[in-house]
Amino acid sequence: MRSKIVAGNWKMNKDLAETEVLLAELSAKLPDTKAEVMVAPTFVNLSAAVDKLKSSSIEVIAQNMHFAENGAYTGEISANMLLGIGVDTVIIGHSERRAYFGETDEILAKKVVAALAKNMRVMFCFGEELEDRKSGNHFKIVESQLKNALFSLDASAWSKIILAYEPVWAIGTGETASPEQAQEMHAFIRKTITNAYDTGIANNVSILYGGSVKPNNAVEIFSKPDVDGGLIGGASLVADDFIAIIKGIA
């Protein structure tokens, strides 16, 4: 059965001192939950975060990685480097990586393959832009993002995949997809995976929703049957808000 997950994507926020404060607060306040709880600090603070959360159930994950094993890629980070510090889950395909760093479906497919080759777990992000939603193209866009980056994988790889549907128009805008819009898309994603693979794989993959999830809308979004949790940006930077969102998982 698929798991419930609440993950905080800290993006380019929190220096070392701030990271330690937030992690201490999160560990102290973490409620009893059936959700897997994850945080993704910036690369430079990953080691410290792993160390700080040694005796906590909160998992430290990475925001990105390069597809090459190693080599002349100034400023980049490899799967082995993450594994070497105890990080074995990585976010791939965030819309900010696509928009600001030119990450195409083709590059993302390579990253997914590279992470899986090292037995890492991949949290794959995708989602449509506002104009796609307005023109009614959102289902087609999402289907092509999934197909281009994931549907060449062997069926066996899917036990290592977590999906995060993040409509670009809802990220950091305060505008959230309605619970009905999220459910409709998540159900479509499961149907698309069923068509490409089978129902077993579709039903076992966790599909998170991301985009302006806050304490006041989390419960309703998470109550939808095909929404298995959330990938949280802004609200994950405030301990009480992130904890309140975690409590929104039934």
Catalytic residues: 94, 166
Around 227, how many Cα atoms within 13 Å sit in the side-chain half-sphere?
Answer: 28
Q: Nearest to residue 145, comparing CAs of 97, 76, 179?
A: 97
Residue from 61, 108, 171, 221 in contact with ligand 13P (CB under 6 A): 171
Quick one: which of 76, 111, 89 has its CA closest to 40?
89
Closest distance to ligand 13P from the beta carbon of 20 (Å) = 22
Contact between 161 and 124 (Cβ < 8 Å) = yes
Give the end-to-end CA distance of the chain in Å, rounded to a whole number.
16
- CB-closest chain residue to ligand 13P: 233
List the x/- string, 194-223, binding to ligand 13P by CB under 6 A.
----------------xxxx----------
234 is in an annotated binding site: yes
Binding mask 103-132 for ligand 13P (x = CB under 6 A): ------------------------------
Q: Is 169 annotated as a binding residue?
A: no
Binder of ligand 13P out of 41, 93, 234, 248 (CB under 6 A): 234
Specify the DSSP class assigned to residue 2: P
In angstroms, what is the minimal distance from the CB of 39 to ligand 13P?
A: 12
Would you say 118 is a known binding-site residue? no
CA distances from 223 to 38, 81, 197 (A): 20, 37, 26
- Tell me if 231 contacts ligand 13P by CB under 6 A: yes
By C-beta, is 41 or 234 nearer to ligand 13P?
234
CA distances to 64, 90, 111 from 54, rounded to whole Å, are 22, 18, 27
Q: Supply the minimum distance, in Å, between the C-beta of residue 127 and ligand 13P.
A: 9
Q: Is 233 annotated as a binding residue?
A: yes
Per the CB < 8 A criterion, the answer to whether 235 and 242 are in contact is yes
Q: What is the size of the binding site for ligand 13P (CB under 6 A)? A: 14
What residues from 28 to 67 belong to the interface with ligand 13P (CB under 6 A)?
none
**Annotated binding residue 172:** yes
Whether residue 150 contacts residue 189, with contact meaning beta carbons closer than 8 Å, is answered with no
C-alpha 45/C-alpha 48 separation (Å) is 5
List interacting residues with ligand 13P (CB under 6 A): 9, 94, 166, 171-172, 210-213, 231-235
